[in-house]
Structure 1
Amino acid sequence: MDLFLVLILAATAAHLLNLQQQRRRIALLAQQLQPYQIERLMETLTQGYLRAMGEQGDERRQQVLGLLASSEAQLSEQFERFVADFRRIPAQQARVSRLPLGLPFATQLLPGTTFDMREVLEIHAGGIARAWRNEAGLAPRERAFVMTAELLLMQHSCHWFCKSKVVASARMLARHQTPHAQLVASVSPETRKAYLALTG
């Protein structure tokens, strides 16, 4: 009975410590995002792409996509500035655990199982900029698809930073009906290669 009580107390303490660390990460990310309109621009673009893909004719689809051009440019520019600001975060605060579940002090106790959020954000910034400039010369429909994947994978990384990989993947599945593996497969080859090399 005593051992059972000790285990319950230890699990409760670990859970509370984990929640405390997660709150700090959420506050840190919110503080860094606060000067920008990244979330609003992402919502505008993802909704706009869905609307464009629902259009029957190519001409009407092109009109809708054309209306999104300024939002794409703003998002790419603002995200580049956000990444530059986030680069100033101390390395220890930017570590993310590769472990599927969030564990207290995992980034400090198991540094070999971590990656740097500053680096993953730079990968996302490159992917968003490439999709915006359409460096691959994709057709409008495919370009919108890749840009959406780049944005959602970036959002997944932010949730991973704040909580854990399992929570981030569950949120992506619940909100967008998209598994993490599908997002990784749908971004540009350059993003995919760099992302997998960093995050494992």
Structure 2
Amino acid sequence: MELLPLLVLVFIVFAVFRAREQARRIALLGSVLGQYRIEQLMENLTEGYLRWVGEADPDRRTQIWGTLQDTEQALASQFGRFAADFAKVPAPLAQFGKLPFAIPWAQQLLPRDRLIDARRLFELHARAIQTLAVNADGLAPKDKAFTMTAELYLMQHSCHWFCRSRPVASARLLARHHSSYEQVLAAVSPSTRRAYEALVR
């Protein structure tokens, strides 16, 4: 019976330190992201794609697509600058665990191959968004819109994973966008998927 109070105490201490570390990560990411309009641009872009797909008038579709291309370029530029700023964060603050649950002091407790470097992850997303914005692969407009949406959802998942945990990030993805982590990963470009899996698996 004496073991139960000890286990409860250990759990409480673990939860407190985990919450503190997550709050620190949220504050760190927010301090860098707060300089940019990335979330607003992402929302404008994904909603704009839906308007474009649903527009029946060809002239209006062309007009909407031109606006979307401008938004893509703005988002690619801003996320690239964000990734460059976040790359200045020291390694101990930027690394988090690959485990399916968040633990405090992951950088100190886990071996290097069980850590993810958020700086590399955000650089990957910046390259993917930029590649699609300039349409380097020559995708058809509908394919480009579909792939860009998946790339943005995966980037958002990475932000939430860094701040909380992979299950929380996946649950938010499903709740907000009605897409599973697996669906989004399957929908990004093959080059993104290979590079991403090399970092997180």
* Superposition TM-score tier, normalisation by shorter sequence: over 0.9
CA contact (8 A) 1:32 1:86 kept: yes
Q: Which amino acid in 2 is paired with 1:162?
A: C
1:50-89 deviations in Å (ceiling 9; x for gaps): 2212223554433222222221111111111111111100
Q: Does 1:105 align with 2:105?
A: yes
Change (3 A) 1:49 1:95: same
Unaligned runs of 5+ in 1: none
Determine the structure 1 residue equivalent to 2:37. 37
Determine the structure 2 residue equivalent to 1:27. 27
Please give the alpha-carbon distance, in whole angstroms, between the structure 1 residues aligned to 2:56 and 2:96: 43
Given the two structures, how large is their TM-score scaled by the length of structure 1? Answer: 0.96
Please give the alpha-carbon distance, in whole angstroms, between the structure 2 residues aligned to 1:45 and 1:132: 11
Determine the structure 2 residue equivalent to 1:50. 50
Aligned length: 200
Other structure's SS at 2:100 match? coil
Please give the alpha-carbon distance, in whole angstroms, between the structure 2 residues aligned to 1:20 and 1:58: 53
Unaligned runs of 5+ in 2: none
Q: Which amino acid in 1 is paired with 2:173?
A: M
Q: Which amino acid in 2 is paired with 1:155?
A: Q
1:116-151 deviations in Å (ceiling 9; x for gaps): 110011110111011101111111111011111111
Please give the alpha-carbon distance, in whole angstroms, between the structure 2 residues aligned to 1:81 and 1:106: 27
Q: Structure 1 stretch 180-189 or stretch 58-67: which is displaced more?
A: 58-67
Determine the structure 2 residue equivalent to 1:118. 119
Change (3 A) 1:93 1:179: same
* Map 1:161-172 → 2, pairs under 5 A: 161-172=162-173
Q: Which amino acid in 2 is paired with 1:103?
A: I
Q: Structure 1 stretch 46-55 or stretch 29-38: which is displaced more?
A: 46-55
Other structure's SS at 1:115 match? strand
Other structure's SS at 2:116 match? strand
Determine the structure 2 residue equivalent to 1:191. 192
Q: Which amino acid in 2 is paired with 1:4?
A: L
